[in-house]
Structure 1
Amino acid sequence: MDTENAQNVIAECWGSEIIPELERYIAIPALSPSFDADWEASGHIEAAVQQVAAWLESRPVTGATVEIQRLPGRTPLIVVEVEPFGAAATDDGDESTVVLYGHVDKQPEMTGWRDGLGPWTPVRDGDRLYGRGGADDGYAAFASMAAIEAVQASGGSHSRCLMLIEACEESGSPDLLHHLDALGERLGDVGLLVCLDSGCATYDTVWLTTSLRGLVEATLRVDVIAEGWHSGMASGLVPSSFRLLRILLDRIEDAATGQVKVEAANADIPSHRVAEARAMADFLGGTGEDFGLIGDLQLMEDDPADGLLARTWRPALSVVGADGMPPTASAGNVLRPYTALKLSLRLPPTADSQAVASELADLLRSDAPLQASVSVDEVDCADGWDAPDLAPWLAAALNESALRRFGQPMQLFGEGGSIPFIAMLGGMFPEAQFVVTGVLGPESNAHGPNEFLHVAYAEKLTGCIADILDAEARRSGS
């Protein structure tokens, strides 16, 4: 493949086509179903799916078909099938499939956007394209198709490609397994999965994700009285629902250290992952993010490598939402009827999320303090993922591409987030190779305010994907 021409094709596509499309996409408030219960009626997910599918269908890619797969009561799935091209089209051997994955659903708006910015207001500032969903993960469909287009336009080859763009990833991908079942044999023999929904520690080379944490989410609620009572009358006799919640939380987390007490949520860290964290800390000269700490707040780990392992291989509990508590400005002197907390428990990549959820529920429900009414509902699970060893051909291709496009060798790192699809497909195709990477780098702030896509990085990364597609098609006996 003419790699220089491929990058020129990609640069032209990003400049004249992808950026305007991403600006249109950012303007669509396509909240994931967990955050928009009436997603079908609101039509925002449908609008995003239609926009992305229409652009994919318009591209000059030989042998491509685009469809929207629909299942009753579930979010749609964009399916793009591209026939083998170049040397792969004449290969008499077994036909392998390259799956390219992304999603179009988005996280909620979140507060704290800077003046002039907003979740549904695309703003270009140098290399940064601000707005919700551009980096997580709207760009993936456009970049994947641009990479295929560049391969074909530059004398390269690619195997059969199957692009899957879902619409409920931010809700834990509850619909995706049903779509995979519906695809059946169309999945083919998956030899390589390319996922662009992960992150990068810097914007100056390719970062390959080697692990993803799992996740258990649940809503813990304690009810004490039928309606609010004047605190001067009830407090001191009727127990506070918040105090009872504190007792329950102490069962699952050490408040002083943050250590998670759920046994199934803890796992040994493989020695090679420890070595990767130390190499990454040395490369970065730290952990790579300053997080905008307020005042003199201390991190939970002093050693950078331990800090990287803490957010990629150790469990951690976060309270991400609350009900039953009025804003401080309008809070009266009232003993509140109940308190509910949304819990997010990040898990080591090798932990069994179902086992963790079961143990978590038992710890919280059993022997309720003062016989209070305790409920644990809306439990969702997602397993993590620990990558298989890289095949020699893929390791070489990734490193050569990183040197070509960025001038630096590829780097490895563990990711603290979850991508349920990776664990799903890894279980279905244990012999497959994985290229899990992405653009969520320093300050990009996915899920939070001021999310942005680093355009120059995304453009170079697209070139790397084209390189990998061509290398996969040309490999023999690797």
Structure 2
Amino acid sequence: MLVVTIEATAPTTGTVLLYGHLDKQPPLGDWSDGLDPYRPVRKGNRLFARGVADDGYAMFSALLAIEELERNGVPHARCVVLIEASEESGSPDLEAHLDVLGQELGNVELMVCLDSGAHSYDRLWVTTSLRGVLNVDVTVDVLERGQHSGSASGVVPSSMRIMRQLLDRIEDSATGEILLSELQPQIPMSHVTAASQVADAFGDVAGQEQPVVSGLELMGADAAERILRRSWYPTLSIVGAQGLPDSSIAGNVLRPSTTLTLSLRLPPSCDPVAAETAVVRALTTNVPSNARVSVNAVTASGWVTPELAPWLRAALEEGSTQAFGNEVAYAGEGGSIPFLAALGQRFPAVQFVATGVLGPDSNAHGIDEMLDLDCAVAVTNAISHVLSAHAAQGK
């Protein structure tokens, strides 16, 4: 973790933490002609490369926001910029780093996270909630070694069929609904209302930004429900597999095992430990055909923003209006930022601002990742205003 401390220029004892991360996802696949994950390419106001938006811009944005205040003689509180180096791996070292930093962080009053999303690039979007995540590697073994399918099939059960039966305990494969009660959301009515307001004002923001194939029917009855499905509903995605040969070299072999990597997004208020226990129990209890099953799971907590103080709500409105020319907007996001939950537990009275540049076509974790430079500059200016407003509270 990279730690940068900038001492206060305002007469205040409070500290502002500004968070981002510098590690990146793998390139995933072949990028479009002229683009490269490791060689930044600028096209107009867009910058393409792996990690530019998630979350390479954040360190520069945080430091520039502070530099702008100092250049203009505007006071700010003590600022600590924390840049994590293992966020994309689930933040396995985060708690240890925070333990070591301890009192060095000081009296934290405001936390600014620059790793979140935006439904558009024309205003500041502030995140109101984040889902948790449960990553599970599950392996089903049926043979010590592969066998000719002509001699073994019909006698030895398929590891994939058993895997499908196990997954059916977790998810209704016809609808995508999660069946385990431990993973079901308790959605606050305020967030239901907010989703309807976002849908009314901005349309089908959760659906329209997806690069779906022609004619695909989206999940959810309407725009508001899709916003909630992306930000508050549990979902299961299969994100990796082992034991499956490439189709170009696949033979008539009954495979000895199947391994799938599951990504379960958890509701923001869901207990990740209870969720892990329920999922592991579903995968390992009364296994069909008495097959051998092994499971390895890693969890990260979701997060719901505390109520914003009046001064902060006003500063966000002013910052968005000044930087973007439009009022601020609020919405839940479907991803996970373990740092926010960790800080919330350590500093329960802290004020939070989670924002970012992961908007339409930003392609985080995918090919052709893109940073909208105009949005990045505007977010930086808006955060600079928030830092100024925070310092003014200490006068």
Query: Shared fold by TM > 0.5?
Result: yes
Match of 1:386 among 274, 291, 304: 304
Q: Which residue of 2 aligns with 1:434?
A: 352
Distance in 2 separating the partners of 1:239 and 1:295: 37
Runs of 4+ in 1 over 4 A off after TM superposition: none
Of 70, 75, 84, 2:8 maps to 84
Tell me what 1:101 maps to: 19
| Deviation per residue, 1:140-171 (Å, 9 max, x gap) | 00110001000011121110111111100001
Any conservation in 1 of the 2:209–2:361 contact (CA below 8 Å)?
Answer: no
Q: Deviations over 1:85-118 (max 9, x none)?
A: 1xx2x34xxx111000011111111114212212
Query: How big is the alpha-carbon RMSD for the aligned residues of Structure 1 and Structure 2?
Result: 1.0
Q: Unpaired segments of 5 or more residues in structure 1?
A: 1-76
In the alignment, structure 1 residue 245 sits paired with structure 2 residue 157:
no
1:199 paired to 2:117:
yes
Does the 8 A contact of 1:197 with 1:437 survive in 2? Answer: yes
One of 129, 135, 152 as aligned partner of 1:217: 135
Name the amino acid aligned to 2:289.
Answer: L
1:468 to 383, 386, 389: 386
Cα distance in 2, alignment partners of residues 78 and 414 from structure 1: 28
* Unaligned runs of at least 5 residues, structure 2: none
Q: Percent identity?
A: 51
Cα distance in 1 for residues equivalent to 2:94 and 2:27: 24
Does 1:450 find its partner at 2:341?
no
Matches within 5 A, 1:296-307: 296-307=215-226
Amino acid at match of 1:368: V
Question: Cα offset for 1:270?
Answer: 0.3
User: 1:121 & 1:327 partners in 2: Cα distance?
Assistant: 29
Identify the residue that residue 352 of structure 1 maps to in structure 2: 271
SS at match of 2:248: helix
Corresponding residue for 1:44? none
**Residues 328-367 of structure 1: pairs in structure 2 closer than 5 A:** 328-367=247-286
Shift of 1:177: 0.8
1:357 Cα deviation after fit: 0.4
Give the CA deviation at 1:476: 4.7
Residue 198 of structure 2 corresponds to which residue in structure 1?
A: 280
Candidates 283, 291, 296, aligned match of 1:372: 291
Aligned to 2:189: 271
TM-superposed CA distance for 1:290, in Å, is 3.6
Q: Deviations over 1:339-358 (max 9, x none)?
A: 00000000000001011001
Matching residue of 1:139:
57
Mapped contact 1:287–1:305 kept (Cα < 8 A): no
Which of the numbers 144, 147, 150 marks the counterpart of 2:68? 150
Which of 314, 317, 328 is matched with 1:410 structurally? 328
Normalized per residue, the structure richer in helix is 1
SS of match in other structure, 1:309: helix
Offset, 1:286: 1.4
Matched, 1:321 2:250: no
SS in 2 for 1:252: coil
* 1:468, distance to aligned residue in structure 2 (A): 0.6
Secondary structure of the structure 2 residue equivalent to 1:194? strand
Aligned-partner SS, 2:154: coil
Aligned to 1:33: none
**CA shift digits 1:153-202 (9 cap, x unpaired):** 11211101111111000011111110110011111111000110001000
Summarize deviations over 1:1-30 as a string: whole Å, max 9, x none.
xxxxxxxxxxxxxxxxxxxxxxxxxxxxxx
Match of 2:31 in 1: 113
CA distance in 2, matches of 1:418, 1:205: 22
